[in-house]
Amino acid sequence: MNDHNPFYRDDPGSRNKLGNVVLAGVSASGKSTVGRQLAKLLGLGFVDLDELIVKSSGKAIEDIFSQEGEDAFRERERSMMLSLQGIRSHVVSVGGGALMSDESVRNARLIGPIVWVQSSPAEIARRLFKRISEIEKRPLFRDLLSEESHEVRRDMIQARVQKMIDERRQWFELADVVIDGSFVTPEMAAHHLKDILMIEGLIERSQRRFSSWRPPGKV
């Protein structure tokens, strides 16, 4: 628990009346895979912010970046985050770029307590390096595919990830819970996170509630 979090409210029960948990982290940190496992363990629904943006826009993330630019994508992130404030009983996965201002952190916390899913830059580079398709669908890494040397490309991915973490660290450190998913399976990380959330009183099984929220359709 981050006791020095400027957005922290002393009563954990008042912080999570909606029964949600927000998982954040840089690309390929494991937040979505861990989030899905956590949702199963807690009997909650699961939503991925990027997947909602794709569904509502009818465009792949990389197409939004290439056709509209990163600023337009960030605005879509902001709007989608606001739309999730009526959600109940869900684990919500958001990209690290969605939490890069005081306002965005406040908006995320209106959904539920925030968990920073960490993974080392070396481990993230290993995950992305294994499959080109994983790099191709991530706009912030696609330019590295032009590097023909596999070894150099892996090192460049690792350096890019480190830079992203450094740029976003001040926001990630506002999280209520931090877990490291570098060298454990998603299942193990989810079990560990469930235990932490319950010990800290941030979520209870009895918090499951009916939600009138529905995933957005294509706009």
Question: What pLDDT is attached to residue 200?
Answer: 87
Quick one: fold of 14-119+175-202? Rossmann fold (3.40.50)
Tens of pLDDT, residues 126-152: 888 877 888 888 888 988 988 889 899
Q: CA of 20: how far to CAs of 68, 97, 145, 159, in Å? A: 31, 20, 37, 33
Tens of pLDDT, residues 39-91: 999 999 999 999 999 999 999 999 999 999 999 999 999 999 999 988 989 99
Determine what percent of the chain is predicted with pLDDT higher than 70.
85
Confidence of residue 213 (pLDDT cuts 50, 70, 90): low
Question: What pLDDT is attached to residue 188?
Answer: 94
Contact call for residues 29 and 93 (beta carbons, < 8 A): no
Beta-bridged to residue 178, according to DSSP, are 116
pLDDT at 214 over 80: no
pLDDT at 9 over 50: no
Domain ranges across the chain: 14-119+175-202
